[in-house]
């Protein structure tokens, strides 16, 4: 348990954080819920792992390879979605961003 001085200091730090960056502070207030896309990806991942195990048990090398590729595909697509969903940092006025599109 914190003493009164430490509790006051912690409350001051918390209120300063909420004032400076409320969006960041809100991330710690509520637990993150799984989205429908997360549940679908988790179900697909579990199914692919089950197929991989069944293929291994039956000594089916081709099935194992296909199932492992499917596991990687499901995980990769979910991870790509999660990474691309994050907001991009704003660039300062006058900054130029190099285009990645081929000309």
Average pLDDT, the chain: 82
Contact 32, 25 (CB under 8 A): no
Tell me the torsion sign for CA atoms 28, 82, 87, 89. positive
Q: Specify the pLDDT at position 17.
A: 84
Say what the pLDDT of residue 89 is.
Answer: 60
| pLDDT value of residue 83 | 82
Give pLDDT, residue 90. 59
Average pLDDT in the 11-15 region? 87
If 0-12 CB within 10 Å is exposed, 13-18 middle and 19+ buried, where does residue 25 land? middle
| pLDDT tens-digit series, residues 33-52 | 778 888 888 899 999 999 99
| Measured distance CA(90)–CA(33) in Å, rounded | 27
The full set of domain ranges for the chain reads 7-85
């Amino acid at each position: 348990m914190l003493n009164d001085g430490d509790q006051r200091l912690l409350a001051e730090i918390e209120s300063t954080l909420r004032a400076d960056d409320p969006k960041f502070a809100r991330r710690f207030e509520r637990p993150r819920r799984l989205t429908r896309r997360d549940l679908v990806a988790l179900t697909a991942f579990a199914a692919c792992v089950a197929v991989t195990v069944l293929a291994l048990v039956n000594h089916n090398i081709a099935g194992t390879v296909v199932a492992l590729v499917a596991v990687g595909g499901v995980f990769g697509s979910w991870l790509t979605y999660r990474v691309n969903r994050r907001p991009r940092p704003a660039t300062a006025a006058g900054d130029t961003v190099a285009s990645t599109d081929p000309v």
